[in-house]
Structure 1
Amino acid sequence: MRFLSVLFIVFLVSCKSEKVELSAQEIIDKSIIASGADKVANSEISFRFRDKKYRAVRKNGIFKLYRSFKQDSLEIDESISNTAYERLINKKPVRVVDSMITSYSNSINSVHYFSVLPFGLNDKAVYKRLLPSRTVKGISYYKIEITFDENGGGEDFNDVFIYWINQENFLIDYLAYAYETNGGGKRFRVLKEQCSVKGIRFVDYYNYKPIAKDSKLIDLDISLENNELQKVSEIILEDIEVDY
């Protein structure tokens, strides 16, 4: 009888210590909930980034993303939606050539995209792949690689992202991406500060690039610990407001 009791205790301990294997999809789903990013889909969010003001209105898959700023004596207001790009100069609409529409739209979308991560990582054009876990500065992380389908993945569908998601709280502390525009390159973002506004997590980052051009995207966490990254900027969102 005592022998059976000991076996039962050993069984319980082994069950508790065995970590449940999660898929890339399950990890992203948990990260979205933990970050409050599930609330983004039906919200109005505004913030200031550097010298520009941004506002996003999203409702049931319909969105409109705004950017406004001053350029010399001109007031420029831009927006992109599910269907169109619009540009106003001193409140008057202007025509924009197609090549510039693509450039302006990508610039606006990029800031809005990064501002509400991991919202957007369950879009239809997104492919997720679970990479081997890694410990960074004593903390265990899931690593998820994100790539995009050409159909629906936007002009930058060839970009590759990797997210380091804390295995305890499922929050993103680091992210890296490789891009091809403007000659291409790699970036690695490190959490600087975070805040919660009406249940949605917003993050400021230190933005780095690898010193060695041949550094692999997947190993930029190792580059961080080996002091092989060069700081290029800080990503700071200010005056954040959220409405539902």
Structure 2
Amino acid sequence: MKYIKILLLFLFCYSCQEEIKNLSFSADEIVNKSIEISGGERFENSEISFDFRDKSYFAQRKNGNFLLARSFYSESDSITDFLTNKEFKRLVGEEFIVVADSMMTKYKASVNSVHYFSVLPYGLNATPVNKYLLGEEEIKNKTYYKIRVTFNKEGGGEDFEDVFIYWVDKETFKVKYLAYSYNEDDGVGMRFREAYNERFIEGIRFVDYNNYKSSDGLMALIDLGKIFEKNKLNLLSKIELKNIVVNDL
């Protein structure tokens, strides 16, 4: 009788563990868990600098306020762009210049884009972000939560019409793949990114990406994960962050 009770207790505990393991999460819960394991509150009060291609980037985030900057050389002039919650400014040499509205829109989007991708999934729980759990999908023998992300026009930035899909590892809650559609002045397209070279610096997760493009304009964004698995996407470039430095504020 004693052994039967022990067996029943074991089966009960095993059943509870399986039930917890198979609990379904909402898109918000998955994203919040992903942000937490990727750095959590450390994002909110930090200074992050890194180099990407021929430019240097700097981000300061403190209590909801941010300063995003990039610096580079154009011919003989040094140029630094500053983007905050309230304004955009361009410094050429030692003087701030007046930037036409049309060009300011492009500069702001360019600065924000690099910083946005550098700290993903941070930012996906912001107010203008809409998240929808599409379900689960297996890619290369691993199962991922598949989440569709869109942005409200109000507060969603210049590229609020872009659509993203994130594949979040079901076991680790880390973002492994992402895809997005875009509509720019030079055309419409889609990209698929595969994260690699994971490293944690001062508690914040950083990755590099293999950046793929579709060879067929008829491909659907939602199908890019399976198309990638079949090796039918073309490697366009690598997104590599170098010389990363993180300081707490």
Query: TM-score per shorter chain, which class?
Result: over 0.9
The 1-side partners of 2:222 and 2:41 are apart by: 27
Q: Does 1:74 align with 2:80?
A: no
Contact 1:49 1:238 in 2 (8 A): yes
Q: Does 1:146 align with 2:145?
A: no
How do residues 145-184 of structure 1 correspond to structure 2 at under 5 angstroms? 145-181=148-184, 182-184=186-188
Secondary structure of residue in 2 paired with 1:222? helix
Corresponding residue for residue 26 of structure 2: 23
How do residues 22-171 of structure 1 correspond to structure 2 at under 5 angstroms? 22-171=25-174
Secondary structure of residue in 1 paired with 2:199? strand
Match of 2:214 among 205, 210, 213: 210
Secondary structure of residue in 1 paired with 2:41? helix
Corresponding residue for residue 246 of structure 2: 242
**TM (normalized to structure 2)?**
0.94
Deviation at 1:72, TM superposition (A): 1.1
The 2-side partners of 1:75 and 1:2 are apart by: 79
Secondary structure of residue in 1 paired with 2:44? helix
Corresponding residue for residue 199 of structure 1: 203
The 1-side partners of 2:71 and 2:23 are apart by: 46
Contact 1:141 1:165 in 2 (8 A): yes
Moved more, 76-85 or 5-14: 5-14
The 1-side partners of 2:205 and 2:114 are apart by: 15
The 1-side partners of 2:18 and 2:198 are apart by: 31
Code of the residue aligned with 1:13 in structure 2: it is Y
The 1-side partners of 2:142 and 2:71 are apart by: 39
Contact 1:134 1:143 in 2 (8 A): yes
**TM (normalized to structure 1)?**
0.96
Corresponding residue for residue 228 of structure 1: 232
Deviation at 1:164, TM superposition (A): 0.7
Secondary structure of residue in 2 paired with 1:203? strand
RMSD over aligned Cα atoms: 1.5
Secondary structure of residue in 2 paired with 1:180? strand
Code of the residue aligned with 2:100 in structure 1: it is V
**Structure 1 residues not aligned, in runs of 5+:** none
Deviation at 1:187, TM superposition (A): 0.4
**Structure 2 residues not aligned, in runs of 5+:** none
Deviation at 1:90, TM superposition (A): 1.0
Corresponding residue for residue 13 of structure 1: 14
Contact 1:126 1:147 in 2 (8 A): yes
Deviation at 1:184, TM superposition (A): 1.4
Contact 1:31 1:172 in 2 (8 A): yes
Deviation at 1:134, TM superposition (A): 0.8
Q: In structure 2, do the counterparts of structure 1 residues 37 and 118 end up closer, same or farther at CA, with 3 Å as the change threshold?
A: farther
Over the matched positions of the two proteins, sequence identity in percent amounts to: 48
The 1-side partners of 2:62 and 2:3 are apart by: 61
Contact 1:212 1:228 in 2 (8 A): no
Code of the residue aligned with 1:14 in structure 2: it is S
Q: In structure 2, do the counterparts of structure 1 residues 215 and 2 end up closer, same or farther at CA, with 3 Å as the change threshold?
A: farther
Alignment coverage as a number of residue pairs: 244
Deviation at 1:12, TM superposition (A): 3.3
